[in-house]
């Protein structure tokens, strides 16, 4: 049996990153009571809340948190016609928060995620572990059998080439979930009672050339290194598909990280995921994606970006062209998505002009 942790007696304490280095992005449609449990870990940081759905609804945020909140009216006002690239009635809207942040790092979490316990019963400070992951290098060019060689008590094993031990900068830290695993609708339907109780005490780099299913529930990334590729696509209202927002971002991010020599880590930290979403609703959202991903995955496995794509923006625009050329045949949706990818980059650059303070605009 897995249970969330009790954090009532933990006081907010200093972090390896300062408030002006990291923002926490939370998409939501409801009062953010879940923040009470995260108070000791999140209160030292600034929150960017992206309110989805009805903008007239008032979202309550517990006292003591420093936050800014954007609803659909704000998004439309700030982006104008380019707001079309931000999904509505889908948590994909969270990527608007990535765009308006001015910090180097983003941590994003769903509002049904609570503090997990490690096997000793200690509450897991997910944010602290993400920061550790992202501040240490990745090793995408060769597999280390003892997992992340930069963790305390670990190192590179015999046979690991010395020239590769410097590693590469880490752009993404992908955390996992105890209790309700992140399953698709068919698996939810088949295994309604399955809970994830296995705490795997590992962080690892996903090797170069290997794609992975990136979940947006518990995720940290470096905006300066990869931000413009963290677009969560067109989902929800008016779109033929849902629940592929983070997957889409993950595929794009991974091929661009591989191209630019950046690393992606997965594993710790765990959050406690409280509630499975409705599998019937999910099936409706996923239905087309289940078919489409059979073509999308080979497409991304074979994407090749030209050498002159030296910034995330250039890579992403090139990717948008290839999406139109090669996935447009599957469904007209991909032409629309390709256009939205371009709009996203235009909007990103509008809000993040080159040379702006604290922002290197994705240049590597």
**Site for its own copies, rule CB under 8 A:** 119, 142-147, 153-164, 174, 176, 181-184, 186-187, 191, 194-202, 206-215, 243-244, 246-247, 250, 266, 290, 293-294, 297
Least separation in angstroms between residue 110's CB and its own copies is 13
Least separation in angstroms between residue 23's CB and its own copies is 24
Quick one: CA dihedral 109, 112, 114, 119, positive or negative?
Answer: negative
Q: Find out whether 9 and 28 touch, Cβ atoms under 8 Å.
A: no
Q: Which is nearer to its own copies, 73 or 197 (CB)?
A: 197
Least separation in angstroms between residue 55's CB and its own copies is 29
Q: Which is nearer to its own copies, 10 or 211 (CB)?
A: 211
Q: Which is nearer to its own copies, 83 or 303 (CB)?
A: 303
Q: Which is nearer to its own copies, 138 or 343 (CB)?
A: 138
Q: Find out whether 60 and 32 touch, Cβ atoms under 8 Å.
A: yes
Q: Find out whether 90 and 238 touch, Cβ atoms under 8 Å.
A: no
Least separation in angstroms between residue 6's CB and its own copies is 22
Collapsing DSSP states into helix, strand and coil, what is residue 171?
A: strand
Least separation in angstroms between residue 13's CB and its own copies is 25
Q: What SS3 string covers 208-250?
A: CCCCCCCCCCEEEEEHHHHHHHCCCCCCECCCCCCCCHHHHHH
CA separation for the pair 304, 318 (Å, rounded):
10
Least separation in angstroms between residue 187's CB and its own copies is 6
Q: Which is nearer to its own copies, 60 or 162 (CB)?
A: 162
Least separation in angstroms between residue 65's CB and its own copies is 30
Q: Minimal CA–CA distance to 169: which of 218, 231, 98, 104?
A: 104
Q: Which is nearer to its own copies, 2 or 59 (CB)?
A: 2
Q: DSSP letters along 70-137, please? A: E-HHHHHHHHGGGGGGS-BSSGGGGHHHHHH--SSEEEEE-TTEEE-B-TTSPBP-HHHHHHHHHHS-
Cα 345 to chain centroid distance, Å, stands at 17
CA separation for the pair 133, 45 (Å, rounded):
18
Q: Which is nearer to its own copies, 78 or 297 (CB)?
A: 297
Least separation in angstroms between residue 344's CB and its own copies is 21
Q: Which is nearer to its own copies, 51 or 196 (CB)?
A: 196
């Amino acid at each position: 049996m897995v249970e969330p942790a009790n954090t009532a007696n933990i006081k907010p304490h200093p972090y390896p990153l300062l408030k002006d280095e990291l923002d926490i992005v939370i998409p939501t449609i409801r009062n953010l009571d879940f923040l009470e449990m995260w108070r000791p870990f999140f209160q030292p940081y600034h929150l960017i809340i992206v309110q989805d759905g009805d903008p007239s609804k008032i979202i309550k945020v517990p006292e003591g948190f420093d936050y800014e909140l954007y609803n659909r009216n704000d998004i439309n006002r700030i982006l104008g016609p380019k707001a079309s690239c931000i999904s509505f009635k889908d948590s994909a809207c969270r990527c608007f928060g990535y765009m308006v942040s001015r910090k180097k790092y983003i941590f994003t979490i769903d509002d049904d995620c609570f503090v997990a316990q490690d096997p000793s019963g200690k509450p897991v400070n997910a944010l602290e572990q993400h920061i550790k992951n992202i501040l240490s290098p990745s090793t995408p060019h060769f597999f280390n059998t003892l997992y992340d060689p930069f963790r305390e008590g670990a190192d590179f094993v015999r046979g690991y080439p010395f020239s590769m031990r410097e590693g590469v900068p880490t752009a993404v830290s992908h955390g996992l979930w105890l209790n309700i695993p992140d399953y698709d609708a068919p698996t939810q339907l088949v295994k309604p009672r399955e809970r994830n109780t296995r705490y795997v005490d590992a962080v690892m780099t996903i090797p170069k050339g290997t794609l992975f299913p990136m979940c947006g529930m518990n995720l940290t990334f470096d905006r300066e290194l990869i931000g413009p590729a963290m677009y969560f696509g067109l989902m929800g209202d008016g779109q033929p598909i849902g629940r592929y927002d983070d997957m889409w971002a993950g595929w794009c991010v991974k091929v661009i990280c591989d191209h630019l020599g950046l690393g992606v880590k997965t594993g710790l930290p765990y959050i406690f995921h409280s509630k499975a979403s409705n599998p019937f609703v999910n099936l409706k959202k996923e239905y087309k994606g289940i078919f489409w991903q059979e073509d999308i995955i080979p497409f991304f496995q074979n994407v090749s970006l030209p050498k002159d794509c030296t910034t995330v923006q250039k890579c992403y625009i090139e990717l948008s062209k290839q999406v139109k050329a090669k996935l447009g045949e599957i469904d007209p949706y991909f032409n629309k998505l390709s256009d939205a990818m371009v709009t996203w980059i235009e909007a990103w650059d509008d809000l993040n002009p080159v040379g702006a303070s604290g922002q290197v605009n994705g240049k590597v």
